[in-house]
Structure 1
Amino acid sequence: MYCYDEYDQKIVDERVAQYRDQVRRRLGNELTETEFLPLRLQNGLYMQVHAYMLRIAVPYGMISSRQMRMFAHIARKYDRSYGHFTTRQNIQFNWIKLEDTPDILTDLASVQMHAIQTSGNCIRNITSDEYAGVAQDEVVDPRPFAEILRQWSTFHPEFAYLPRKFKIAISGGKEDRAAILAHDIGLSVTKNAQGEVGFRVLVGGGLGRTPIVGNEICEFVPWQHILTYVESILRIYNQFGRRDNKFKARIKILVKALGIDEFRRMVEADWADIKDGPGTLTAEEVARMASFFTDPNYEILPDHDSKLNEFKVDNRNFSNWMLRNVKPHRVPGYAIVVLSVKKPGNAPGDVTDVQMDAIADLADRYSFGEMRITHKQNVVFADVKQSDLVELWQEVNKLELAAPNIGLLTDMISCPGAEFCTLANARSIPLAKLIAERFESLDFQHDIGEITLNISGCMNACGQNHIGNIGVTGVEKKNHEEWYQIAIGGAEGNDCSIGKILGPSFTFFQVPQAIERILQVYLRERIDEGERFIDTVRRIGHQPFKEHVYSMDYEDEPGQSGDGERSVTPAEYVVPFYSPRF
């Protein structure tokens, strides 16, 4: 993975020193909160419901064991012994004291990390495919280009104050695993008919209040010109994007207003002036960056391990884990392993300091000391010997990170919601807990098969609810009662789509009942067990789901529902889900 040079380290160290003085002045009342606000946001520090939240950048999700141990240290010393992995492949800590933040950033700088541009109206953390470099379907490894984009965008003087935050994702496989169609700019590294490397460029995607799937602005930009092309997109956005209304300030609104053809014309006119300028990439620079992402010392191994197959036959839990959490690797004898941070009953994405230390140790033993945080809030070991899979499974099972549910119903994405976020209308994490408990049967989940369920506590869609096969959004809190909209038909990947709202909203305890009725329609209507939920929705449309979901009464309080499902003890939900950590 990329290692800082003297310039990187100097930039980060100087930023920490600047910020330390800014905090000193704020604590001494030399700066008002209004004056301090943009300064702290530039360093990833938010004020939330109970305390400050610090979001730390993990560029394109890659992290070393040393850096993961630093997260564990921060969780123990400065937080409440846990951290939260986000959908931008970052980590955030929710119980931070302002006076501690300069020391935290100093600690992070010691392991080549920072919190720069994890907030504010700037180019945010570059995200990518969590299987980059090891996926069997990969056309071009996107990581060198992701790092080039990171360096180019960090402290870019022209784009330090954009109309609104700006998100870029890059993928290099035949299958998009980075949700590039749901980003301000989505980049797919590919090859043309002549075998030349270039980029398919998408623009104007995004979720939030106005969810839109991105448009193709250019089918093929040669790799030499990708920085200048992206720069021209940002220059047009910076010049013409709205600044009078933050809800209409994202680039997707500008692209929609102008139309993709006119927006393309404006970008290409600007690009003509800078295409061959200083931002043009050279073969030497790309090769230098690629040198940081060379293969580890793979051994020559057989493609199949006979003992592994025997253990799968004898142990159903391991067999399920192999089916859901282990992915094929491009190198014979190796596998990609996904550690599930979605054990039913736990908050999606939350990892304790003990787990983080143990994950770092396991990465050293089994995956060359590296791992990846995914935009689905899990952790990936990219390079595990097949002969080590049984032993690794036993280890992660002890850590409660071996739930065999990747891609299944309980592998939910969830934002922190109203427990923490001042913007949220409703709770997300307790709802995820309630849903997970209702559907925790693995037999049932395997019967349902591949499905995504995403939850956001408000319309800002940090939980990516619009591109979940089932998307849940907190829309209102009135008279101490939370209300949620449910949409179906959303999807990410190559065939990205935005979910369609079924109808009127549901209360907190009605949501799991409604999801069960949605699933009943799917099980009734699917052609066979091989037809995925999203395929059934697209084939039969929303109406059969809507009719069934709204055809019966709902139980508004914990207890026996009208459909005869299991009862829920009210005491389970009187105390907030995070109460042990308050």
Structure 2
Amino acid sequence: MYRYDDYDHALVRERVAQFRDQVARRLSGELSEEEFLPLRLQNGLYLQKHAYMLRVAIPYGTLASAQLRALARIAREYDRGYGHFTTRQNIQFNWIELEQVPDILEQLAEVEMHAIQTSGNCVRNVTTEAFAGVAADELLDPRPLAEILRQWSTVNPEFLFLPRKFKIALCAAEEDRAAVMMHDIGLYVYRDATGQLLLRVMVGGGLGRTPILSQMIREDLPWQHLLSYVEAILRVYNRHGRRDNKYKARIKILVKALGIEAFAREVEEEWEHIRDGEAQLTLAELQRVVAAFDPPRYEAAAGDELAYGSALAGDADFARWASRNVRPHKVPGYASVVLSTKPGVAAPPGDVTAEQMECVADWSERYGFGEIRVAHEQNLVLPDVRKADLHALWKEACAVGLGTPNQGLLTDVIACPGGDYCALANAKSIPIAQGIQQRFEDLDYLHDLGELSLNISGCMNACGHHHIGNIGILGVDKNGSEWYQVTLGGAQGKRAALGKVIGPSFSAAEVPAVIERIVATYVEQRGAGESFVETVERVGLEPFKARVYQQAEVPA
């Protein structure tokens, strides 16, 4: 994985020293909270309901074992023993004391991590899929391009004060596992018939109050123009994006207002001025970054497949876990493993304890090459595990609560922290997620249902990506009470779709039964081999609405 150079080290250390001084001035009263607000946001520090929350960047979701151990130490020493992994592949600590933040940032800097641009109206953490570099259906590893974007956008003065926050995602595989179409800029990497590396540029995606999927603005863009074209888009957005209303400030609103053709003309005109300038990438620069992502020395043995097959045949529970949580690898004899952070009522989705982090760091070294990934579904991934080691790893994962065999199933719930922590939330997310997980504890039933995503957000900011869940749940406020709106038919990937609201919202007590009825309707209505989204597309919302609203929930 990428290691900091002298520029990275200097930038991060100077930022830590700068923020230490700013915190001291805030604590002494020299800075008011209003004056301190933009300074702390530049360093990923939010003021939540109960304490400060620190969001730490995990660029394109890749961690080294030493970095994960450092996060575990921070969780134990400065938080309440855990961290929360987010849909943006970052980690959040929810119980931070202000005076401790400079020391935390200094410890992060020691392992080449920081919290820069995890908040504010700037280019946020650049993301890609958790299986980058190892996926069997991948064209190439997209992380070097993500790293180039990270270096270019970090403390880039032209784009530190955009009209609103800005998110970029890349995909270089046949299947889009990075939710590219819900980002401000999405980049699909591919090759033409001659083997030339090209980019399909998508723009104007985003969820929140006004959910919109991105549209293609440029096809067949040579990779050398990655930075210059992104810069042209950002310049047009910076020039024309609204700053008078934060709810209408995202680039998706500008694209919708101008129309994709008019917006594209503006970008092309801007790009003509810079396309052959200093932002044009060279092969030498690409190779410099690619060298940091050299694949490890794989050493699969001839008997690995036989050992794996024997373990599958001899242990039904292991076979069920492997069928869900083990992913194909491009190197024979290896696999990628999803460690589920969704054990049900035992822990909120995305929460991982310090002890669990240390175990994962140990496993990454014992069973892999010291690398961990964070998936936007809030799970952790070990990208390189010999198949012969999968049974032993599974046993250890089960022992610490990370072996739930539910990747991609209904209980693999994506959820924001919601009203338990967030000052912006209208309603709680965690109890709703756990109520649904408890209702669907039968693993055999879950596996029979197959792939089915459920996403929960505590407010319209949509941090739980509820719009693109097959089943989406949004917390809303009704006269000071918490209610929940349900959408159906959302999907991510190259066939992304936004869910449609089925009708009036439900009380918290009603939600698990409502989901149960929706699932029962799907089971009754689905055709052979038909997914949830395909069933919703074919039969429409009416059968689901009829079942849900004709049966009243009887409180327990």
2:258 is the alignment partner of 1:253: no
Deviation string 1:307-327 (CA, Å, 9 cap, x unpaired) is 322222221210111100001
- Corresponding residue SS for 1:127: coil
Deviation of 1:374 after TM superposition, in Å, equals: 0.7
Q: Which residue matches 2:553?
A: 554
The one-letter code of the counterpart of 2:539 is I
**Deviating 4+ runs (over 6 angstroms):** none
Q: Which deviates more, 438-447 or 85-94?
A: 438-447
Q: Which residue matches 1:368?
A: 369
How does 1:103-118 map onto structure 2 within 5 Å?
103-118=103-118
For residues 209 and 257 of structure 1, what CA distance do their matches in structure 2 show? 16
The one-letter code of the counterpart of 1:119 is S
The one-letter code of the counterpart of 1:257 is A
Q: Which residue matches 2:503?
A: 503
The one-letter code of the counterpart of 1:5 is D
C-alpha contact (below 8 Å) 1:451/1:469 kept by paired residues: yes
Deviation of 1:101 after TM superposition, in Å, equals: 0.2
Q: Which residue matches 2:398?
A: 397
The one-letter code of the counterpart of 2:444 is D
C-alpha contact (below 8 Å) 1:303/1:333 kept by paired residues: no
Q: Which residue matches 1:230?
A: 230
For residues 539 and 136 of structure 1, what CA distance do their matches in structure 2 show? 31
Q: Which residue matches 1:348?
A: 349
Deviation string 1:506-540 (CA, Å, 9 cap, x unpaired) is 00011111111111111001112x21111111111
2:455 is the alignment partner of 1:454: yes
Q: Which residue matches 1:568?
A: none
Q: Which residue matches 1:469?
A: 470
The one-letter code of the counterpart of 1:326 is V
C-alpha contact (below 8 Å) 2:82/2:353 kept by paired residues: yes
Q: CA RMSD in A?
A: 0.9
Deviation string 1:58-110 (CA, Å, 9 cap, x unpaired) is 00000000000000100011000000000000000000000000000000000
For residues 46 and 4 of structure 1, what CA distance do their matches in structure 2 show? 26
For residues 58 and 364 of structure 2, what CA distance do their matches in structure 1 show? 17
Deviation string 1:201-225 (CA, Å, 9 cap, x unpaired) is 0000010000011000011210000
Q: 1:302 to 1:261 in 2, by over 3 A?
A: farther
For residues 322 and 220 of structure 2, what CA distance do their matches in structure 1 show? 38
The one-letter code of the counterpart of 1:548 is R
Deviation string 1:370-399 (CA, Å, 9 cap, x unpaired) is 010110000011110001111111111111
C-alpha contact (below 8 Å) 1:182/1:212 kept by paired residues: yes
For residues 121 and 258 of structure 2, what CA distance do their matches in structure 1 show? 22
For residues 254 and 304 of structure 2, what CA distance do their matches in structure 1 show? 52
The one-letter code of the counterpart of 1:203 is V
- Corresponding residue SS for 1:281: coil
- Corresponding residue SS for 1:213: coil
C-alpha contact (below 8 Å) 2:201/2:219 kept by paired residues: yes
Q: Which residue matches 2:542?
A: 543
Q: Which residue matches 1:517?
A: 517
The one-letter code of the counterpart of 2:531 is R
Q: Which residue matches 1:314?
A: 314
Q: Which residue matches 1:438?
A: 439
Deviation of 1:477 after TM superposition, in Å, equals: 4.6
C-alpha contact (below 8 Å) 1:55/1:91 kept by paired residues: yes
- Corresponding residue SS for 1:305: helix
C-alpha contact (below 8 Å) 2:181/2:205 kept by paired residues: yes
The one-letter code of the counterpart of 1:474 is G
For residues 350 and 331 of structure 1, what CA distance do their matches in structure 2 show? 31
Deviation string 1:466-505 (CA, Å, 9 cap, x unpaired) is 00000000011535x3101000000000100000000000
- Corresponding residue SS for 2:550: coil
Deviation of 1:157 after TM superposition, in Å, equals: 0.8
For residues 192 and 502 of structure 1, what CA distance do their matches in structure 2 show? 42
The one-letter code of the counterpart of 1:357 is E
- Corresponding residue SS for 1:128: coil
Q: Which residue matches 1:282?
A: 282
Count the aligned residue pairs.
555
Q: Which residue matches 2:131?
A: 131
- Corresponding residue SS for 1:550: helix
Structure 2 residue runs of 5 or longer lacking an equivalent are none
Q: Which deviates more, 189-198 or 490-499?
A: 189-198
Structure 1 residue runs of 5 or longer lacking an equivalent are 560-582
Q: 1:328 to 1:79 in 2, by over 3 A?
A: same
Q: Which residue matches 1:563?
A: none
How does 1:161-180 map onto structure 2 within 5 Å?
161-180=161-180
For residues 70 and 35 of structure 1, what CA distance do their matches in structure 2 show? 31
- Corresponding residue SS for 1:71: helix
Q: Percent identity?
A: 59
Q: Which residue matches 2:150?
A: 150
Q: Which residue matches 2:216?
A: 216
- Corresponding residue SS for 2:253: helix
C-alpha contact (below 8 Å) 2:304/2:386 kept by paired residues: no
For residues 28 and 467 of structure 1, what CA distance do their matches in structure 2 show? 45
C-alpha contact (below 8 Å) 1:525/1:536 kept by paired residues: yes
Query: What is the TM-score normalised by the length of structure 2?
Result: 0.99
Deviation string 1:280-320 (CA, Å, 9 cap, x unpaired) is 00000000100011110111434862232222222121011
Deviation string 1:222-279 (CA, Å, 9 cap, x unpaired) is 0000100000000000000001100000000000000000000000000000000000
For residues 427 and 145 of structure 1, what CA distance do their matches in structure 2 show? 37
Q: Which residue matches 1:292?
A: 292
Q: Which residue matches 2:56?
A: 56
For residues 307 and 113 of structure 1, what CA distance do their matches in structure 2 show? 38
For residues 550 and 305 of structure 1, what CA distance do their matches in structure 2 show? 51
